[in-house]
Structure formats: C-alpha cells, structure tokens
Amino acid sequence: MSRETVTITDNRTGKSMECPIIKGTHGPPVINCQSLYKEMGMFTFDPAYVTTASCESRITFIDGEKGILLYRGYPIEQLAENSSYLEVCYLLLNGELPTEEQMKSFQASICQHTMLHEGLLSFYKGFRHDAHPMAMLVGVVGALSGYYSDLKTDIKSHEYRMGSAIRLIAKMPTIAANSYKYLIGQPYVYPQTNLSYVANFMNMMFSVPREPYKFNETAIKALEIMLILHADHEQNASTSTVRLAGSSQAHPYSCIAGGIATLWGPAHGGANEAVIRMLQEIGNVKNIPKYLKKFKDKSDPTRLMGFGHRVYKNYDPRAKIIRKSCHNLLHELDATKEPLFEIALELERIALSDDYFIKRKLYPNVDFYSGMILSALGIPLNMFTVMFAVARSVGWISQWMEMMEEEDLRIGRPRQLYLGAAQRDYVPMDQRT
C-alpha cells in the first residue's frame, strides 16, 4: 500500500522528516505531524485552530465551498424535509436512522426523562430576577452532574454514556423553559409526555394554569426545522470545548455546561439575537438605504448582521432551508407587514441584489432567518441563544460520546509560543527600583 507523506525540512540544519498524509471520507487530507516535536524539536503554531484537525470524527461533515452539510452522511436538506428533531438526535447518537421500533423506544426514553429532580428547581431561586437565561442554563446543566454522579464512575460504559445523552436531550427543553418562567415570575409548567418534543417545549414556555398553549402546526414545524439545522456543526468552539473538558474524563454534564458557556459569546451563538437588535435599530423600511451605506463603509465597523459566514463561502445550506420555513411562517401568521419583518424582508431583497454583497458572496446565513422565526414565535430575545443550546445539546453529547469511545483517549494539551520575559533572577523588594 502506498504511504503518502509530506517532507518537512528545517532549512537551518537540513534535517528532514516524513509526515504521513491521512485521507478522510470527504474533505482535505490531513498531515499527521504528531512526532514533529520528537523528531525536530518544534511545535506547530496555529492560533484559533484555523488549519488544525483536532480529532477524528464520523458524525458531521461540512464543505464550506460547496455548501454541503451532512449528519452521519445524510444531507441536511433531506433530514430537514423528512425527519423530526428526535429522529435526527437518534441518528447523531447512533450513526444510523432508527427503525420504527427503535424510534418508538427512543421517544419513550426521552419522554421518561423530561422532568427535573424537584431539588434542581430550587437552583433557579438563587438567580437574580434579571439574570440572563444563559447564566441559568450554564448553572443548572452543570448542577445536573450532582444529581447523576453515578455516571462518573461508569464513564467507561456505553450504556451509561447513552443514558446521560438521553437525560440531557430530554431535560434541556424543561431547563430552558423553566429559566424563562422564573424570569417572568410564572409557575413552572411540567412536561407533558403526550406532546411531541417541540410541542412540549412550546407548552412549557407559553401555557399558564387554566390557559393552555394554542398550537399552530406551521409554528411547530418551523421550530422543529430550526432545531434540526442547529443539531451539530462539527468542531466549532463550543463542541471543541466539550471535547477538551471531556478529555480529562470530567462528568459529561459539566463538560456540556462548558459548551453552553462558550456558545453564549456573541461571536458564536449570539448572532440571531444581534439580527433582531439590528432590525430594531433600523426601525423603518425607509431607513434601509442609510444603514446599507453604513454596512458597506469600511471606516464603520457595523456589519449587516445575519449576512456572511466564515465557513460557507457560496451559500449556507441551512439558510436555504430555513428561509423557506421562515417565509411560510410569516405568511401563516400574517406577519409579513409587521414592522420588524417588513424591514427584514426588504433588507433581504435589496442586499441580495446589491453589488457589494454579490461580489463578496455575502448571503443571508441561518441566523438571519432563525432570529425572525424565534421572534415570530414570541420567543424573547434573551432566550435565542438558549434555543440554540437546546438544539446543539445532541451534537455536544454525540461528540463527547464519540471521543469517550476512543481506545486511546488522551487528555487535550495544546502547546504555546512563549513570548514573555526570559528567565531572570528574583530581585528582593527593597532592591527594586
């Protein structure tokens, strides 16, 4: 078998080494340079990991140039069209689509674990009345590790790992809805096992005693699609955080709490909220030209939020799907003329035909539409990143499980380029100038 390699030569000494090239199923091959330090006494330098494959994975594949997103090999378009969020969860966790019987049993396990331990409810009371719901999510999910500490001792068992995944997926909507209820001072609504995953979440968010939530099928479908599209996105910042924390064999729920904390940042999970804040600032369709000028002005740091993507350079396949779902929802709710959505739709129309955006391949991304969907569903702005976290919990835990199943699991330990002071001698305080 031909063993392809890359030769690395240190031009200072002429010393060379061969690094094996490893090819995956899709995507660029990687250079295995793990023995670089041993052979050449050097580290690689790649801040923000822009060119480093940090792990092997069989879960999700992205091709940013071609606009491809696959979960376990299945194109996102087919899953969004045909699957439920729970079916996608099963796929991400197990690697295969479920049979009817497997799906029934999976659904039953999820339903069984939707309730929170009553002791966990008192955690909410410790938060200030105006705490950010993401702060609650970090805290309460981290606290789950105190309730399921048996998982730590059995971390090597597949059965316990799957149990921890099912509990997490089941409880995330309850934890998220309780944060909202706490903030608005309404009683918590207990999960209902006769409702679908998404319908149950909406009911826990919006029903109050003696006033059941009025279900709208288009709204439920729009939210279901949003959850599917955000379920996993390979080795992004929050997923990498979960993997790094997990590499120390920490409790899975404390690793997930780390992922949630990473997602909270505006550079990661906060963009859909930023879209709505931008629309609110624009305020009126007639202000759009003035703002477009601002977005294009290089001396002004303001950007058109919800446009552009670091990885998807031609189009974001998720945006194509969610756009349709967003337009359907706005029509169904008769909301296209509501000021915020009117501005968004007009902005979308103008920007898509504007030379500046066309030339730079700047298309609306998934956040442009998910912000509008969540807003149309009545989900408050500070809950947007929470919704993203609910959807992504399956991705985080699937990636954690995959890593824990590696035969040779090693703790993650990046190296550094030290630029601090050179070694020097301690100076006693009375001799310092």
- What does the binding site for ligand ACO look like in residue numbers (CB under 6 A)? 271, 295, 303-310, 360, 362, 365-367
- Rounded to a whole number of angstroms, the minimum distance from the CB of residue 301 to ligand ACO is 9
Beta carbons of 412 and 244 less than 8 angstroms apart: yes
Marked catalytic residue, from 230, 232, 233, 367: 367
Residue 183 or 366 having the CB closest to ligand ACO: 366
Angle, helices 339-352 vs 288-296, to 10°: value is 50
Q: For the purposes of burial, counting CB atoms within 10 Å of the CB of 148, is it exposed (0-12), middle (13-18) or buried (19 or more)?
A: middle
Question: Using CA atoms, how far apart are residues 110 and 358, in angstroms rounded to an integer?
Answer: 44
Selected catalytic residue, list 230, 233, 251, 309: 309
Comparison of 132 and 303: residue with beta carbon closer to ligand ACO: 303
C-beta of 181: minimal distance to ligand ACO in Å?
27
Element (H, E) at 22: strand 16-22
Interacting residues of 307 by C-beta distance below 8 A, sequence separation 6+: 351, 357, 362, 363, 364, 365, 368
Active site residue 367: yes
* Residue closer to ligand ACO (CB basis): 372 or 401: 372
Identity of the amino acid at 161: R
Q: How far is the CB of 143 from ligand ACO (least distance, A)?
A: 28
The CB-of-306 to ligand ACO minimum distance in angstroms stands at 5
**CB 263, CB 388: distance < 8 Å:** yes
Nearest Cα to 213, choosing from 196, 226, 229?
196
The count of other CB atoms within 10 Å of the CB of residue 111 is: 18
Q: Which residues of 348-377 are buried (b: 16+ CB within 10 A; e: fewer)?
A: beebeeeeebeeeebbbbbbbbbbbbbbbb
152 or 294, CB closer to ligand ACO? 294
Tokens of 230: 């955000």
Closest CA to 276 of 385, 361, 132: 385
Q: Is 48 left (phi over 0), alpha (psi -120 to 50) or beta?
A: left
Q: How many CA atoms lie within 13 A of 120 on its CB side?
A: 24
Q: Least distance to ligand ACO from the beta carbon of 367, Å?
A: 5
Angle, helix 384-404 to helix 217-229, in steps of 10 degrees: 40
Q: Please, are residues 377 and 325 in contact by the beta-carbon 8 Å criterion?
A: no
Least Å from the CB of residue 212 to ligand ACO = 34
Please give the span between the terminal C-alpha atoms of the chain, in angstroms, as a whole number: 67
Which is nearer to ligand ACO, 37 or 356 (by Cβ)? Answer: 356
Q: Minimal CB distance to ligand ACO: which residue?
A: 308
Residue closer to ligand ACO, measured from CB, 251 or 392: 392
Is residue 183 within 8 Å of 153, Cβ to Cβ? no
Closest approach of ligand ACO to the CB of residue 73, in Å: 22
Q: Which is nearer to ligand ACO, 71 or 307 (CB)?
A: 307
Q: How far is the CB of 316 from ligand ACO (least distance, A)?
A: 7
Q: Catalytic residue numbers?
A: 309, 367
